[in-house]
Amino acid sequence: MTHTAKVAPRRFAGRIPPFLPVPLRDRHNGWTAVRQGEFIGFLAETGSVSAALREVGMSRQSAYELRKRPGAEGFAAAWDAALGKPFRKVTGEDLVRLAYGGMVRPIMRGGRYCGTSIKPNASALLRLMDRLDRAVLREQGLDGG
């Protein structure tokens, strides 16, 4: 995708948390996981929702609808972080989705968006397994409590 932002790039110095893409049907012209990551990356680079949407070829209305959908908490947190707002911690439900679906990570270099990575999260799987082990021990009365 060619970079044609009409808004002057800013030097994004913050950290965008990896996020779970909003679960949607795959459509070539829709909000794919990669397109979600690209939007967050361009949003961090430009600081402008409109400019980021121009870069990914999506409408403002569809972006705000996507942000409100069930399962969009990670996307919304990444959106907020890209604009410099604090982000939330990972929940148990997030761990399940991370372990099975992977995370979208916008890649920033020198404050500029340069790509999106999607990869599974083995750490989330291990944390999830640990939680399940502890729950079984509690249920069996073997947790030492």
- For residue 11, is it within any domain? no
How far is C-alpha 121 from the chain's CA centre? 13
DSSP symbols for 100-134: HH-EEEEEEETTEEEEEEEE--HHHHHHHHHHHHH
Mean pLDDT comparison of 27-31, 53-57, 113-117, highest-scoring range: 53-57
> Is residue 25, in this structure, part of any structural domain at all?
no
State mean pLDDT over 49-59: 96
pLDDT over 70 percentage in the chain: 86
Over residues 12-36, the mean pLDDT reads: 85
Per-residue pLDDT, 6: 53
Asked which of 27-31, 57-61, 78-82, 124-128 is least confident by mean pLDDT, the reply is 124-128
Instruction: Count CB atoms within 10 A of the CB of residue 141.
Output: 8
- pTM beyond 0.75: the answer is no
Q: Is residue 23 part of a domain?
A: no
Structural domain boundaries, residue 76: 33-139
Domains in the chain, number: 1
Q: Quickly state the pLDDT bin for 5 (edges 50, 70, 90).
A: very low
Closest-CA residue to 108 (of 45, 48, 52): 45
- CA angle centred on 4, ends 82 and 46, rounded to 5°: 20
Mean pLDDT of 86-115: 77
Identify whether 110 is part of a domain. Answer: yes
Structural domain contains residue 2:
no
Strand pairing partners for 117? 105
What integer pLDDT is reported at residue 48 of this predicted model? 92
Determine what percent of the chain is predicted with pLDDT higher than 90: 32
- 27 belongs to a structural domain: no
Residue 19 falls within a domain, yes or no? no
- What is the C-alpha to C-alpha distance for residues 98 and 4, in angstroms, rounded to an integer? 32
Provide the greatest CA pair distance for the chain: 62
Residue 100 lies in a domain: yes
